[in-house]
Structure 1
Amino acid sequence: MAAAEVLDTKGDNFTIPSKRSAPKTPFSTWFIRFLPAFIFASYVYSTRGPFQSRSCIAFGYNCRTFDPLQVQGIVDRSEYYGPVVDHYTHLFTTHEDLGGSLSVFVEGKPVIDLFAGSRDLEGRIPYDNRTLQQVYSSGKAVEGIVIARLVQKGLLDYDNKVSQYWPEFAQNGKENVRVVDLMVHESGVFHLDNDNWDLSWVSLQDKEAFSARLAKQRHFFGGDVQRAYQAVSRGWYLNEIVRRVDPQARTIGRIAKEELMVDYPDIELHYSHFDDDDDWETRLSPMVEYPVLKIIGRLFLHRFLQTNEYIGHPDIVPLHPLVGQLIRKWSISSKALTPRWAPFAKDFRTKEAHATESTSFSLKTNAHSLAKLMSMMANKGASIHPGQEPDLLTPKTYADATTYHSTRPCVITHDVMPLSRGGWIKERNFHGEGALKGVEVQGWGGAGGSLALWIEELDIGFSYVTNAFGAAEAVLGDFRGRALLEKVVYARKKELGLLA
């Protein structure tokens, strides 16, 4: 060993040369390095249809095509309604949809009644006419019909205080809350506090304890009238009233099954568990959620690229501001829409979630069932098969339930929507400046994109149901269902000779 390489370890001043640490890479350098990858990821997640395999979205590998698209059902008067079907199938070929049903009734007759696509991303299980789908808040459209029928029987009155039917409710600022306040989301109980009660789907199954917990809940606005969307809780409160006034102590779901499904045998309305437990696997389609990375891409990518007809979708619209609120778990919107024990859409599909009837989100049905009910509403509650099936509502009840109530800003959704006494939207210019301009649309929609609507002046009952959980673009529906409705209205106006 060379002398220069020998360390002198003698003496008191011996030191070991220290190693110089590598310089830290600044954050800005890392950001610049990964920026191209981030831009590319945002690009592909924003311009490729979301409902296909991750490998296809990210790398264009192993992409599935709907060729041919599996479709069951009927299309009538195709010279008018054919373009609606063409647009519907286009949603599948661009992977904006995966599986679902579309049903349109005109003058009480189905002109479109289709089931299409698959129940899984791999395309192994067809979405057929036996498939059922959880439609989340679209169930509120039927919920409102059941309440209206109880009003019709004299068992309820929209203007009566809730405490008249449920005395325990009159506490903590809720003494003056009326039934109509619940219907139009102005009851002040859009969320349940967690104090001294561990909320979970299992805990909700103790009916008496849960009822007491609902009654105890404070009014969030101290009794003042404010609109706050009851996405989850409205059905719980309505059911407490309904089972107290119904002679058989039934719930909304039981009434729907024992009356509506009996009076109209071709519809299915399941608010709670199935009679046959196997239906959970054999008939109920899973919900495929929108990719999180694609949402990030849509937040950052320029709208021009998202709507380009070659790489995006021309009808796509910006995400609703509510998306930002939901990310903030402490926000009032997040508390109302995503309870602590169920933060994701899939958490609302478990058997535990459906063990307690929750009519604000638990309905399992199909587009045909919803569109038929909406068709009767478009017929002012009258039967669409006179002499064969009974009326849904009397003219007086229909007029009362659909009477305009108010238009107020909602502190949860930050939207301003006109609502009727029965709790349905009652809005003109529902979507843009096209065929829907000036046309009054009534009904409701659900998370993920489902819609259940009627248009009285054109005698249309409409429903769009999907297992492809769309991004939050609007409180009611998204660009898929809204575009389909607009094309239906255009076709109907063309059929009636109303186009300029």
Structure 2
Amino acid sequence: MSATHDAQQIPPTAEATRVDGHCDPRFTAVREAFEENFRERGEMGAAVAVTVAGRTVVDLWGGWADPARTRPWERDTLVNVWSTTKGPVALCAHLLADRGLLDLDAPVARYWPEFAAAGKEKVLVRHLLSHRSGVCGLREPHSLEDLYDWGLTTARLAATEPWWEPGTRSGYHAVTYGFLVGEVVRRVSGLKPGAFLEREVTGPLGIDFSVGLPARDHGRAAELVHAPAGAIGEQGASLREVTPLLIAAMANPPLGAAQANTPEWRAAEVPAANGHGTARAVAQLYGVFAGRGLFGGRRLLTPEAVERAREGQGRCVDLVLGAGLGSESEIGLGLWLSGPQGAYGPNPRAFGHDGFGGSFGLADPEAGVSVGYVMNRMGSRIADDPRKRALVEAVYRAL
């Protein structure tokens, strides 16, 4: 999206915290929170974008794309956004459902017959989207090389047994989500989710986002820097409470900045975790939901489909994350609901997704607002990074 005629041009600040872009005067608080993230919250390189009624009102970027601070973060710098990718993958499923090609209440095995193995014959498509399938991870060791093999990974997921009774509770499918939903998308459309998203959404709308990263774009990619060692669970009861479910979901195989910076990771398709884009692109993709299916002059979803996407599937303490989110939470059909804790602002019906280390996308159809935030210095919280909270609060103060 281009800058609007009334956008306020932001001159560069001090070299260590350089911020460029544009910001509507009404949203000055967002610019101030973004700059404060560099001064007070350890930001290295980042970008934030806000759309209102499909119009970009904030598009800021700043800092550095590498830890050596040799490459300034530019307007078109891309970065791996980890689980913020799950929102666009969910969008693929909802596009198919909206066209009558995918029944979210049908057994997964209707589209993927092999998936009926090991007691999964009653798992529904909606259980995949809402992290309730019980297939939060594999029981057998699964290497990075295995993860990069789509056929092998999906075959193992089809053959495995669920960790709990499907449909009864949510348990975060950190990595398997993208292969589970993605294989259904592939069986229905003939395309993996990355190609389907490009054909149906990012290509027509000119959105700078991809699942995986084409080799031609590697030069634009920011380098991720991991959170401090041992700090992964500083928020409430934490991920230090290691359980078999946690290991299966989030450490089989182990993933982090070192893996995500490699050409192999960027070349693969890991649709729960290796989307690459700008903050502008994230805001645009979540803007499809915020616009009740209308974005960039195109209707991609019906309003009914957007309502279906944010149907809560039941509040609970997540079986994988435990109390690490601070309380009970609720997932819709592909995205987390803001809920009473205000994870995505004061509207409990707003929804979105956080990514490992701090990125997020937010959609609020009532306000017509979407937000995208991306960064390369990964934080240590499970969700609701302080940088996110500062930006979300600033957006809502400006509305």
Confirm or deny a common fold (TM above 0.5).
Answer: yes
3-state SS of the aligned residue for 1:404? Answer: coil
1:429/1:440 contact within 8 Å kept: no
Read off the aligned partner of 1:142 and give its amino acid letter: P
3-state SS of the aligned residue for 2:144? Answer: coil
Shift, 1:207, TM fit: 4.1
Shift, 1:94, TM fit: 2.9
Distance 1:351 1:407 in 2: 39
What's the counterpart of residue 183 of structure 1?
129
What's the counterpart of residue 307 of structure 2?
399
Match of 2:210 among 253, 267, 270: 270
Q: Deviations over 1:295-342 (max 9, x none)?
A: 39xx9xxxxxxxxxxxxxxxxxx53423313xx4x6422331122x32
Distance 2:273 2:246 in 1: 17
3-state SS of the aligned residue for 1:110? Answer: strand
3-state SS of the aligned residue for 1:409? Answer: coil
Distance 2:149 2:279 in 1: 33
Shift, 1:90, TM fit: 1.4
Read off the aligned partner of 1:484 and give its amino acid letter: L
Shift, 1:204, TM fit: 3.8
What's the counterpart of residue 310 of structure 1?
none
Number of aligned residue pairs: give it: 383
1:221-236 equivalences under 5 Å are 221=164, 223=166, 225-236=168-179
Which consecutive unaligned segments of at least 5 residues does structure 1 have? 1-64, 300-317, 493-500
Q: Evaluate the alpha carbon distance shift between residue 217 and residue 243 of structure 1 in structure 2; reply closer, same or farther with a 3 A threshold.
A: same
Q: Evaluate the alpha carbon distance shift between residue 105 and residue 138 of structure 1 in structure 2; reply closer, same or farther with a 3 A threshold.
A: same
2:148/2:270 contact within 8 Å kept: no
2:171/2:319 contact within 8 Å kept: yes
3-state SS of the aligned residue for 1:393? Answer: coil
What's the counterpart of residue 272 of structure 2?
360
What's the counterpart of residue 38 of structure 2?
92
What's the counterpart of residue 375 of structure 2?
466
What's the counterpart of residue 116 of structure 1?
62
Calculate percent identity across the aligned residue pairs.
27
2:19/2:35 contact within 8 Å kept: no
3-state SS of the aligned residue for 2:119? Answer: coil
Q: Evaluate the alpha carbon distance shift between residue 211 and residue 94 of structure 1 in structure 2; reply closer, same or farther with a 3 A threshold.
A: closer
Shift, 1:135, TM fit: 0.4
RMSD (Å) for aligned C-alpha atoms = 2.3
Match of 1:212 among 113, 137, 155: 155
What's the counterpart of residue 324 of structure 1?
240
3-state SS of the aligned residue for 2:316? Answer: strand
Read off the aligned partner of 1:321 and give its amino acid letter: A
Shift, 1:224, TM fit: 6.6
Read off the aligned partner of 1:462 and give its amino acid letter: V
Q: TM-score, normalised by structure 1?
A: 0.72
1:489 aligns with 2:396: yes
What's the counterpart of residue 291 of structure 1?
228
Shift, 1:404, TM fit: 2.9
Which consecutive unaligned segments of at least 5 residues does structure 2 have? 1-12
Shift, 1:400, TM fit: 2.5
Shift, 1:423, TM fit: 1.8
Shift, 1:398, TM fit: 2.0
Match of 1:69 among 8, 12, 17: 17
Shift, 1:368, TM fit: 0.3
Q: Evaluate the alpha carbon distance shift between residue 159 and residue 237 of structure 1 in structure 2; reply closer, same or farther with a 3 A threshold.
A: same
Distance 1:338 1:83 in 2: 38
Shift, 1:175, TM fit: 1.1
What's the counterpart of residue 129 of structure 1?
75
2:350/2:363 contact within 8 Å kept: yes
